[in-house]
Amino acid sequence: MVKIENLCLDMGAFKLNGVNLEIARGACHAIVGPTGSGKTLLLETIIGIQKIKSGRVVIGGKDVTALSPSLRNISYVPQDICLFPHMKVIDNIMYGVKVRKIDPAPLKPFIDELIEFLNISAILERYPAGLSGGEKQRAAIVRALAARPDLMILDEPFSAIDSALREDARRLLKELSASHAITSLIVTHDIDEAYFLADEISVLISGSIVQSGERDDIYNYPKNHAAAEFLGVRNIYDALVVKVFEKSIEAALDSGRSINITCGCARSKFAAGQKIKCAVRSEAVYILKEGTDFFDKINCFDASIQKIYTRGKMHTVICALAGGIKIEIDIHDAAFNKLKLALEKKIKISINPDNIFMVN
């Protein structure tokens, strides 16, 4: 168990404002946030490089706030990996064990298992200069885990390797974490990486954690505007509550368009005339087949295609609704081609009320 309690630090341009964080034993937690949000500063305070103003760092049930980095039983995999160039891979792996003066004999079966799992047996006698980026990455992870740390911290762990190797490395780390119950903290600005690897995610913006929770909750229900934008939500709108029902509301967008939003206990949370912000992910907006009837359908709108951006097998279609409201839609290549989408084409779109959420 790792606990960060009310962590505060002021370095002028960079601050941490009462950060609280908890990582269960064997879980992977990701800290995400834009550049300059304080991710690296938070990492350095947990490691013990930066002296905090107030708060506590508890690792493995022990308060380590006043301890030096070498006494915290934390391993660290930095962005640039940092294998010692004058040491063979096996010596790099055993370095932490040697420096901490730990008897290597009890650890040997575990280290051998890691070496086999990450498939680096063939490079143990080689020097880092002769390794590929992926080999260096795997060797660095084994080195980080060799001394059985209470917490492994990874700072942008796969930014130094190419995209093809990156996916393989992510899968290996996820499988390794699951099979060996490794407690880990990943600091990244890559949202896809965080969603893939982590059990829980915290969003750090301007030195404060604005939202923390299970991966799916963070993805589906960002709580505020800043978090939603960073997490890739492009469709965020101001609206005014028009009608309140038992489990839903009807709201008017700035253009006057009405939209229905599912909301449990709606009567206790909303009132007619209340201003709100609502949002929907671009992949949760659907383009209907030509000829589809709007009759008795909720949240269906006429739109025209303004722009199309292509990224491999995915397309982002930017549409304009009546009244000038823009909406972005992500659609797979197969559906894009089947619908014969093109610039200025008139289309009909649909949004499930369950897929719309509120942001503060």
> Rounded CA gap, 255 and 326, in Å?
11
- pLDDT tens-digit readout, 22-65: 999 999 999 999 888 889 889 999 999 998 989 999 998 899 99
Q: How far apart are CA 273 and CA 252, in angstroms?
A: 10
Structural domain ending residue among the three candidates 228, 260, 281: 228
Do 169 and 210 reside in the same domain of the chain?
Answer: yes
Provide the residue range defining the domain that includes 258. Answer: 233-358
Based on the domain organization, do 242 and 186 belong to the same domain? no
Residues 125, 254 within the same domain: no
pLDDT above 70 for 294: no
Q: pLDDT, tens digit, for every residue of 278-287?
A: 999 999 999 9
* Mean pLDDT score across all residues of the chain: 91
Point out the domain boundary residue: 204, 228, 252: 228
Q: Are 30 and 194 in contact (CB under 8 A)?
A: yes
CATH number where 136 lies: 3.40.50.300
Residue 284 shares a structural domain with residue 184: no
* Same domain for 170 and 74: yes
CA distance 120 to 110: 14
CATH code of the domain covering residue 283 = 2.40.50.100
Residues 141 and 24 both lie in one domain? yes
- Asked if 162 contacts 155 with a C-beta cutoff of 8 angstroms, the reply is no
**Are both 132 and 34 inside the same structural domain?**
yes
Q: What mean pLDDT comes out for the span 137-153?
A: 91
Instruction: Specify the number of domains making up the chain.
Output: 2
Note whether 123 and 100 are same-domain residues. Answer: yes
Give the domain-ending residue among 210, 228, 246. Answer: 228
Same domain, 159 and 300: no
